[in-house]
Structure 1
């Protein structure tokens, strides 16, 4: 039995060495300044904000000259974020909106209206009137990029970043806050439309 075990262990080690196991190098972190394809796991406003947050973090890390991972780890340590971090994240989120607008992945406002109205506190008559509007009128009056930039501007990023207790909490904090801000912004703009 010991001889069989020794032969098996030698076989595993030999296979690992033959396939490059002796020259292990850790993976390099990706350059946050290089555009990457980001796909969302969700649909609607949540999917939109998921992409927005991922691209925004890339933009913030690029502006700060650090990797995405280093920025996420730094913000996840807790404590007050620096002015540079807050400014970089806001600029990164706004740049993400511009990038999605440029590459055609930003949905028209009409695709987000039903979801925003479902969570809005509107009277039934006003909600029915908004839902009856043709998509062309909604898209003509509301530009998704304007709504997103307004929502980003309304976010208290310092407070959001100050409440982080782990690196995973960054997405967990930002996404719901942006979803709510987008829904509120859309609902406000729709009220103004009618």
Structure 2
């Protein structure tokens, strides 16, 4: 019996491989075509930013804050971000849930030790501050212990969040991806402004 020609053998081998993969998928429920269930927003998850400093802090804060808001509203995180990115006015319940979610995220980060001390954020805040060089040097010369006893990161964050006009912020979204970006930028700016104002008050 002659060997199977190579041009026939290759397609046959491919067909065998495809059938094998399909068999594994079907055996594991792949034939149901059911969509994956969204993650439960009330289940705590670890978030890790790819950047450091204030930007990384606020990125994690916003991700956890949206989880908290979705949990209190009884929806998935994906459903909430999609809803908030739609045009139209936001409900009081959505605004309140987002603010409470952000505030709750501060408490969670403080509890799990991922909230940096104020002294870790000073240099970055001063770099963008419109202060004279002498004042910046004086603030940088302050011991970390003095800064950390006078400034609590969780207090700075909560004051910043309380001062955000979330309704106006959510009215200017272009799409779903814009939600986290705009909220993060607003929180970052508020935190930097708060740090600058309170640092100058230490002298």
TM-score (norm 1): 0.93
Checking the alignment, whether the CA contact within 8 Å between 1:40 and 1:47 is kept in structure 2 is: yes
Give the CA deviation at 1:6.
6.6
2:14: which partner in 1? Answer: 8
1:18: which partner in 2? Answer: 24
2:46: which partner in 1? Answer: 37
**Bigger Rg, which one:** 2
Give the CA deviation at 1:159.
0.9
Checking the alignment, whether the CA contact within 8 Å between 1:109 and 1:138 is kept in structure 2 is: yes
Q: What are the residue-to-residue correspondences of 1:42-53 with 2, within 5 Å?
A: 42-53=51-62
**For residues 49 and 60 of structure 1, what CA distance do their matches in structure 2 show?**
16
After superposition, the CA RMSD in angstroms is 1.7
SS in 1 for 2:90: coil
Please state if 1:162 is matched with 2:168.
no
Give the CA deviation at 1:61.
0.3
Q: What are the residue-to-residue correspondences of 1:1-194 with 2, within 5 Å?
A: 5=11, 8-9=14-15, 11-19=17-25, 20=28, 21-194=30-203
Give the CA deviation at 1:4.
6.0
**For residues 23 and 16 of structure 1, what CA distance do their matches in structure 2 show?**
13
Residue by residue over 1:31-75, the C-alpha shift from the partner in whole angstroms, topping out at 9 and shown as x without a partner, is: 111111111111000110011000000000011110000000001
Give the CA deviation at 1:193.
1.3
Count of aligned pairs: 194
Q: Which runs of 5+ in 2 are unaligned?
A: 1-6
